[in-house]
Chain A
Amino acid sequence: MSQLITPALMSPAVVLSLCAAIFCTGLAGLLVRRNILVLIMSIELMLNSANLTIVTFAQLRNDLAGEMTVFFVMVVAAVESAVGLSLVIALFRNLRTVDTDQLTELKG
């Protein structure tokens, strides 16, 4: 177990619960909000809290493979947000809105 997480003050369960709290904040934002920019920000929040969970487990298990996973997740997240934001621009160009309620093209 990592020396930096002192058992008295910060048990691993507390750190992981914090990650879960931020993940659930992002999930609530994803479910409730309609602005597509805020939806992508919520997805980034969820990705970050998952990264923090992986780093916590990597420290807990004394295995650097977890930190390596976080490195590759960050690369994929950067590409994902670039492609996602260009999709937002294409959406705005066609519909003049960033509100997901207006996406009714496929509505029967």
Chain B
Amino acid sequence: MMEIPSYAFLGFSILALAFSLVTVLNRNPASAAFSLVLVFFAFAGMYAALGAHLISALQVVVYAGAIMVLFVFVIMLLNADAPSLDFDRSHFGVRIAGGLLAAALFVALVWTFNHTSLMPGGGQHSPQWIQSAGGNTRALSRLLFSDYVFPFELTSALILAGIVGAVAMAKRKSGNPDSASTLEHP
């Protein structure tokens, strides 16, 4: 019981790491998008293995569902699934510098995690408390609609602003002949 989540976590983490490398290194944006779906599912598995069940379900619904549909739709709309040649044109120095910078940050972060005391415990929501409160989802939902109800209501305003902004920007301007002509004669 105690080891199965650990092995599951290990498997999902290897899956996530492998497919995040595929996402970044793949020349074809459509293949990158579909490996990103697998990364999101692996993240959902890792959240479940950590005991964050509500976050795991939301990861599948929000990321692997909504956000990936947006990505695939935009790739389809722009016809951008041809292999991108950006690797071949990018400077060799830029590639080396980017990789080295990311590797340096990784080494610094791992050194920090291994040389600081991570201070376990301290909070009031122990696994026993969550168990007695009726599980992770129920405890989190009670918290969401009591202590965090104002930020939760604010997110509805944020989403409305996001929808209006996205439609306003992506809409074809009918009164602007300039943009219409560039669409017809690229």
Contacts and interface: CB of A to CB of B under 8 A. Distances in A.
B58 A74 contact: yes
Chain B's interface: helix, strand, loop or mixed, by majority? helix
Chain A's interface: helix, strand, loop or mixed, by majority? helix
Interface in A56-101: 56, 58-65, 67-68, 70-72, 74-83, 85-90, 92-94, 96, 98-99, 101
Given A24-B103, A37-B75, A52-B47, A72 B170 contact: no
B47 A32 contact: no
A18 interface: yes
A99 B86 contact: yes
A90 B166 CA distance: 10
Contact of A78 (B17, B67, B129): B67
B106 A45 contact: no
A28 interface: yes
A56 B50 CA distance: 7
B179 A20 contact: no
A89 B43 contact: no
Contacts of B10: 9-10
Contact of B86 (A6, A35, A93): A35
Contact of B126 (A38, A62, A86): A62
A61 B98 contact: no
A1 B126 CA distance: 8
Contacts of A48: 39-40, 43, 63
B118 A93 contact: no
B99 A18 contact: no
Contacts of B121: 1, 61-62
A80 B70 CA distance: 11
Nearest to A40: B71
A78 B68 CA distance: 10
Contacts of A12: 113, 118, 120
A4 B113 contact: no
Contacts of A51: 43, 55
A41 interface: yes
Interface of B: 2-3, 5-7, 9-10, 13, 16-17, 20-21, 23-25, 29, 32-33, 36, 39-40, 43, 46-47, 49-52, 54-55, 58-59, 62-63, 66-67, 70-71, 74-75, 77-78, 80, 84, 86-87, 89-90, 94-95, 97-99, 101-103, 105-106, 109-110, 113-114, 118-127, 129-130, 136, 139-140, 143-144, 148, 151, 155, 158-159, 161-163, 165-167, 169-170, 172, 179, 182-183, 186
